Structure 1
Amino acid sequence: MAQEQTVQAENEQSKAELTAEMKSAIQERIVKQIASELQIAVSRVKTTVGLLDEGNTIPFIARYRKEMTGELDENQLRDIEERLTYLRNLEDRKLEVVRLIDEQGKLTDELRTAIEQSVKLQEVEDLYRPYRQKRKTRASVAKEKGLEPLAEWILAQPKQGELLSEAAGYISEEKGVQTAEEAVQGAMDIIAEQIADDAKIRAWVRRYTFEQGVLRTEAKDAQQESVYEMYYSYQEPVRKLPPHRILAVNRGEREEVLKVTLDVPVERIHEYIAKQIIQGPSVVQDTLQTVIEDAYKRLISSSIEREVRNEMTEKAEEKAIEVFAENLRNLLLQPPVKGKVVLGVDPAYRTGCKLAVVDDTGKLLEIAVTYPTPPNNKVAEAKVIFGRLIDKYGVELIVIGNGTASRETEQFVAELIGELKGRKLQYLIVSEAGASVYSASKLAQTEFPDLDVAERSAISIARRVQDPLAELVKIEPKAIGVGQYQHDVTQKRLDESLTFVVESVVNHVGVDVNTASPALLSYVSGVNSTLAKNIVKYRDENGKFESRKQLQKVPRLGAKAFEQCAGFLRIPDGANPLDNTPIHPESYEVVDKLFRELKLELSQLGTAELKEILGRLEPEELALKLDVGVPTLRDILDSLQRPGRDPREELPAPIFRTDVLQIEDLAPGMELKGTVRNVIDFGAFVDIGIKNDGLVHISQMSDSFVKHPMDVVSVGDVVTVWVLNVDVKKGRVGLTMKKPS
């Protein structure tokens, strides 16, 4: 901690010494580099950087500043933001390194230029390595003994002379050099460290190791059964290792099941280093060759292997996070099941199934518990309780969590539906991932202080079909369970990425400010957790918001926060119909001009007549008259044609069931419809109505080549599949999306 504080202090000192001219030059360099890397015009990057520096959020910029950015989308803006952060940190580090080397009196113009032109942090650290304060090493001990001149003599590679004779002059009882051989060894240690610290050599060896290295894994105990058995004797070129395999190997190594090594052809490395060091025949040529081999084996190989494996892991983590983020986005965008009274069931064995009935708005109506599963098997009693709740509240949908005892509960519910003929009753299995996390949270305790954890979980299970987004935002994103190796990646990076996804989805859908929970509001552009609580508190104390303008009365919701959040907050029954659209208040005047131009009234909003009139307009021509940008006008017209639209409703609804399918019922070739639950690097898991999801391997997704499963399917997609194989013992089902011929 003390070291970090020292580095930060050094960093701040370096930044403080910057002139305005230098800051401007650095900013310009960063903007140009981002533009080059992302293939985006310099002007657009510069504008985006300015908007971000002013405190604007990405959802706000993407939606309401299209003219300024040239209609860059959220992903492009996110890429700019990430590279901006990285490159600014890189520039700070460059300044710090230049200052630290300069303080040692060793900074040359050539070194300064090399540091300033570095485009990666690793390059800067390589250049700084020789000047970094080191712990005691063999080389530092040799320097203390005064052996640097001998090392320089060897590096000069004389054509004449004799090494041991030259070294004899360094024998010193006082300095602890007893023999000429000892002096030579010390000089060799100094040269070995210089070679190991050479930035050019390290960069080449790192690149060569990545391109030619082979990762090998073996079992520490070959007799031990584990999920890592495929890696008990395994090898694959580093450059070809897919992300999920890298993370699997890392986990196996961390759990001390696997021994992992990285092999690389050393002869070629020795040859390369020799070309950089040995200038030709000399009396010390063999000595230098020995030094080179020692430098690589003792000082370079292990650190480069560590760096290469870290780089592999970083890339694998990026991919895993990308997959998780895309799955999460699609899960959050699942269409809400509206207008149904739902009975949520949190299944269990010994403690019984907790039941929660919620009305069509998600309001809790009643809690109960039944014991239809082993060891209690009170099936008759459970049917009475279920029947009473169904009749009393007009339940149309039973939602069962997919955890413990889900299988038995599903069979019970299917049997019950069969007996309750004449009622419009269906059931649905949902992932209960994260329900227990929510149930034990402070938020759940505040929402339902008198209920126990399982009862809260049953409510969460019921609500997550009525409005998946509103319910799932209450749960830490990484606990939702649509990822791959999410526990093996850098948690800070994962949290940042998933938070971005949730914010993106929440702002894309929009939020009813009069019904939203603090958890949902906290993801709205410009609204933090404190502001979210203040909005709810104001609503509780003053009643429903009648207009967006009223938001400005909420404590601590200033002009900037209002600008950022207003367009994403909806007021369905407010005084101004525009408050229920994605149109920002700053554009209300444009709408007013438009309606006056067309001789229309706001009261016509939502009518077929207005939709037809607006659909015929040409935004390019009209934008000039209204003094507004074409992209903004296009969005305004779209919002006016579909006021109050929920973009999730355009996606396929979940599959409702009335009877149960068992793994024993399956046979190869059987055609089924299922819902994609999770997409990973090597395939997709599909819910086909049995306890465990079936796997469609990437090779079974299409007759043509598939680079990644996400190119074919997304979480929530309803797909047609055919049973490929069934393993009843292991509970595994292989599926294919290729229609059998």
Structure 2
Amino acid sequence: MAKYIEMDILKLTAEELKLKKNNVKAVVELLDSGNTVPFIARYRKEMTGSLDELEIRNIEEKIDYLRRLLQRKNEVAAAADKVDKYSGQLKEKLIKADTLQEVEDLYRPFKSKKKTKADKAIEKGLKPLAELIFKQEELATTPEQLAQEYIDPEKALENIEDVLSGAEDIIAGDISDDAELRKKLREFVFAKSDIVSELKNEEEAEKFRDYYEFKESINKIPPHRILALNRGEKEEVLRVKIVCDEDKAVKIINDHFEFEKNQYYPFIENALDYAYKRMIFPSLEREVRNHLTDKAEEKAVNNFSTNLKSLLMQPPLVGKKVLAIDPAFRTGCKIAVLAENGDLLDTAAIYPHAPVNNLEESVEVTAKLIKKHDVDLIVIGNGTASRETEIFVVNMIKNGLDIEYTIVSEAGASVYSASKLARQEFPELDVSIRGAISIGRRIQDPLAELVKIEPKSLGVGMYQHDISQKRLEKALNEVVVDAVHHVGVELNTASAALLTYVSGISSNNAQKIIDHRSEKGGFKTRKELLDVYGFGPKTYEQAAGFLRIDSDADPFALTPIHPESYKEAERILNKIDHQSSDIKDDQTLEKIREKIKTLNIIETAETLEIGIPTTKDIIKAIQQPGRDPRASMPGPVFRKDILKIEDIEEGMIFTGKVRNIVDFGAFIDIGLKQDGLLHISEMSDFYLNDPFEILQIGQNVDVKVLNVDKKRERISFTLKFF
């Protein structure tokens, strides 16, 4: 296609994102060359100016949009040129168009579409009459007299009314196709409209009772209410629409064309009314609804992403054997005993609850397993029969069992247990036992286990079924990718699911790594990855720095130092009079940490002929090899006794754990069957725009009981007590 219009996409991106053009250019070139976002953010800092993952993804999205915008501008220019309508004026408008929507408005006159009333009227030869009326030229004759000349029964123009009606159709089409007018009306509608809902189906009314007669400015309505309205509309309980002042809209149209109220105006007014109500406003209403939904989804996805990041970054429970229970009534509680590294040691099924009520045997089986395997902790899933199972465990503790327990979310456990991956891991086990294994491993290493589950099934955020699933999956996948790369992956123990999230590694590569690991007995160096069939230099470059090996043969493999920087790392070690092979010795490490503090980073970078950011990263990695960044996060809350809602009174203070965060507040687990609500209005004495400003999932927080509804088993908290 010929290039009618050109754009400096790099400059526009840099200006909008307030970044340096050279850094943007470097990011685009790296992305276009097949480099992943995590790799660029970690190992190409000198080229990008140390841009982080979010900034790089923002560049990626903006570049993609501007490339599509430029392509569409040239397609529209070509379409106009094809019908001899490409003028200097149109070119100028296309150049100035900042959005795809503006380009589509300019394309309307040339767009191939279903034949309209205006098209049919033009075919009947009524265009000259329409132009005379539209221009309101001062003529001695009336519109009716002018119309008399166009009566033609063979063209279905039987009378004056048919002729003038056809002329009005042409005028309505011209009004609707005016791009500048649409822009003015769009600005008006977006600035001054309200969203309104009313009850449509009384049989399903209860859950949407807040929206029976609802009205709010589109610029003030919070995202979660938009999603609620959308759901009510989708379920055909609510009727939702956008309303704005029609009189003001009509005035905008009149002012735009400078219509005069003379003998032609009644016919123009009819056309104007039709154009606005039937052609322009319906499309603008769709734009508004799409815009509101897009913003609401963006906020919801951001909430999901923030919650998921906190969930994945919960610290692993190192060196603890656990007995995991997947609670149930009729089918029994399934037990999985797991070693410190998550390996399955034992399984059992107990039936302590109705209808079986085999309590005595259940106690005996559980106690024997705990003693046999020297279990450190009991982990209970929070699903059906969780409360009853918690009572069962607490009674064992009260009767002399010296152990603690904790409750974890089992969201997505059933999804995992029936998945292909679970069948591959434990082909001989029942689905419910696989669920118990997943529950136990979530406390031992949350990240390694939760990556096996579709992110949207992990129970964080709200309205996950009401937003674009493609958009949600993309955002949550990016969160998982960032978490995996932030922590690093143990090459010799990681599952295929975890390896697949590593930069450059496909599911096919991941399985081949596991097959190679099984055949060769594990990797001793990162370089051995190149021996894996299909693992080429590019994949190695992208992945190697994020993979960890605890090996004397490759001491830097315990750090995020990339193999391409091994020589520089060795020179830094030599600079402080140590060999790289000494990095594993604790006493040597302590000396290294002390001496490395004295290094001049700028001077060292110049000596090594590498950038300052990479030098800083190498030094930091040498100081803390094998460090898990999750170690600083709050750990799980362990319990030995149960809490009942009957025990709760207003004013009591408890330490709870944040389980979920949404726009209007956070849900706090203090050990009750149901989480309590900490409303955003009770989080601070000053105005708080977003709960995420002060809270994150997994955080331990002291809360005061504000209200207890024992009948409905609901509890609310406040932080306003310090």
What is the TM-score normalised by the length of structure 2?
0.97
State the secondary structure of the residue aligned to 2:337: strand
Corresponding letter in the other structure for 2:648: L
Q: Does the alignment pair 1:198 with 2:154?
A: no
Q: Does the alignment pair 1:441 with 2:419?
A: yes
Asked if the contact 1:274–1:289 (Cα under 8 Å) also holds between the matched residues in 2, the reply is no
Q: Does the alignment pair 1:684 with 2:679?
A: no
Q: Does the alignment pair 1:77 with 2:72?
A: no
Counterpart of 1:670 in structure 2 is 652
Deviation of the 1:224 alpha carbon: 4.4
Q: Does the alignment pair 1:658 with 2:640?
A: yes
Asked if the contact 2:147–2:160 (Cα under 8 Å) also holds between the matched residues in 1, the reply is yes
Counterpart of 1:127 in structure 2 is 106
Whole-angstrom distance in 2 between the partners of 1:285 and 1:225: 47
Residue number among 594, 599, 602 corresponding to 1:617 in the alignment: 599
Report Cα offsets for 1:291-326 as digits up to 9, x if no partner: 212211121122211111111101111111111011
Report Cα offsets for 1:421-477 as digits up to 9, x if no partner: 4x2x11111111111111111000111111121111000000011000000000111
Report Cα offsets for 1:493-520 as digits up to 9, x if no partner: 1111111111111011000100001100
Corresponding letter in the other structure for 1:170: Y
Whole-angstrom distance in 1 between the partners of 2:233 and 2:32: 42
Report Cα offsets for 1:650-680 as digits up to 9, x if no partner: 1111111111111221111110001111111
Counterpart of 1:512 in structure 2 is 490
Q: Does the alignment pair 1:144 with 2:126?
A: no
Corresponding letter in the other structure for 1:128: Y
Counterpart of 2:187 in structure 1 is 207
Counterpart of 2:470 in structure 1 is 492
Whole-angstrom distance in 2 between the partners of 1:437 and 1:112: 54
Counterpart of 1:526 in structure 2 is 504
Counterpart of 1:44 in structure 2 is 23
Q: Note the 1:232-381 alignment, pairs <5 A.
A: 232-381=212-361
Counterpart of 1:458 in structure 2 is 436
Residue number among 554, 560, 563 corresponding to 1:585 in the alignment: 563
Corresponding letter in the other structure for 2:711: K
Whole-angstrom distance in 2 between the partners of 1:196 and 1:695: 50
Whole-angstrom distance in 1 between the partners of 2:636 and 2:598: 35
Corresponding letter in the other structure for 1:182: D
Asked if the contact 1:343–1:397 (Cα under 8 Å) also holds between the matched residues in 2, the reply is yes
State the secondary structure of the residue aligned to 2:206: coil
Q: Does the alignment pair 1:633 with 2:612?
A: no
State the secondary structure of the residue aligned to 1:355: strand
Deviation of the 1:223 alpha carbon: 6.3
State the secondary structure of the residue aligned to 1:239: coil
Report Cα offsets for 1:256-279 as digits up to 9, x if no partner: 111112110111100000111234
Residue number among 696, 700, 717 corresponding to 1:718 in the alignment: 700
Counterpart of 2:689 in structure 1 is 707
Whole-angstrom distance in 1 between the partners of 2:9 and 2:673: 52
Structure 1, 588-597 or 221-230: larger mean CA deviation:
221-230
Alignment RMSD: 1.5
Q: Note the 1:507-586 alignment, pairs <5 A.
A: 507-586=485-564
Residue number among 379, 382, 398 corresponding to 1:418 in the alignment: 398
- Identical-pair percentage: 49
Counterpart of 1:4 in structure 2 is none
Deviation of the 1:226 alpha carbon: 2.6
Deviation of the 1:729 alpha carbon: 2.4
Structure 1, 161-170 or 594-603: larger mean CA deviation:
594-603
State the secondary structure of the residue aligned to 1:420: coil
Whole-angstrom distance in 2 between the partners of 1:418 and 1:601: 56
Asked if the contact 1:159–1:281 (Cα under 8 Å) also holds between the matched residues in 2, the reply is no
Deviation of the 1:175 alpha carbon: 1.1
Whole-angstrom distance in 2 between the partners of 1:595 and 1:564: 25
Deviation of the 1:626 alpha carbon: 1.8
Whole-angstrom distance in 2 between the partners of 1:568 and 1:443: 23
Asked if the contact 1:354–1:369 (Cα under 8 Å) also holds between the matched residues in 2, the reply is yes
Deviation of the 1:225 alpha carbon: 4.6
Deviation of the 1:222 alpha carbon: 4.4
State the secondary structure of the residue aligned to 2:334: strand
Counterpart of 1:8 in structure 2 is none
Structure 1, 363-372 or 725-734: larger mean CA deviation:
725-734
Counterpart of 2:43 in structure 1 is 64
Whole-angstrom distance in 2 between the partners of 1:104 and 1:533: 56
Asked if the contact 2:574–2:580 (Cα under 8 Å) also holds between the matched residues in 1, the reply is no
State the secondary structure of the residue aligned to 2:362: helix
Corresponding letter in the other structure for 2:599: L
Residue number among 482, 500, 505 corresponding to 2:460 in the alignment: 482
Counterpart of 2:451 in structure 1 is 473
Report Cα offsets for 1:139-189 as digits up to 9, x if no partner: 222122221111111122112221011111111122111111111111101
Residue number among 76, 80, 84 corresponding to 1:105 in the alignment: 84
Structure 1: tracts of 5 or more residues without a match? 1-13
Distance 1:223 1:558, change over 3 A: closer
Corresponding letter in the other structure for 2:703: V
Whole-angstrom distance in 1 between the partners of 2:601 and 2:251: 66
Structure 2: tracts of 5 or more residues without a match? none
Whole-angstrom distance in 2 between the partners of 1:555 and 1:193: 63
Asked if the contact 1:222–1:232 (Cα under 8 Å) also holds between the matched residues in 2, the reply is no
Report Cα offsets for 1:682-726 as digits up to 9, x if no partner: 111111111111111111111111110000101111111011111
Asked if the contact 2:524–2:551 (Cα under 8 Å) also holds between the matched residues in 1, the reply is yes
Distance 1:225 1:349, change over 3 A: farther
Deviation of the 1:478 alpha carbon: 0.9
Asked if the contact 2:199–2:205 (Cα under 8 Å) also holds between the matched residues in 1, the reply is no
Residue number among 601, 607, 622 corresponding to 2:579 in the alignment: 601
Structure 1, 634-643 or 87-96: larger mean CA deviation:
87-96
Corresponding letter in the other structure for 1:333: M
Whole-angstrom distance in 1 between the partners of 2:162 and 2:400: 94
State the secondary structure of the residue aligned to 1:227: helix
Asked if the contact 1:574–1:580 (Cα under 8 Å) also holds between the matched residues in 2, the reply is no
State the secondary structure of the residue aligned to 2:666: strand
Asked if the contact 1:278–1:288 (Cα under 8 Å) also holds between the matched residues in 2, the reply is no
Deviation of the 1:595 alpha carbon: 2.1
Report Cα offsets for 1:511-565 as digits up to 9, x if no partner: 0100001100000011111111111111111111010000011111111111111
Counterpart of 1:10 in structure 2 is none
Asked if the contact 2:683–2:719 (Cα under 8 Å) also holds between the matched residues in 1, the reply is yes
State the secondary structure of the residue aligned to 2:452: coil
Whole-angstrom distance in 2 between the partners of 1:115 and 1:420: 79
Whole-angstrom distance in 2 between the partners of 1:115 and 1:490: 30
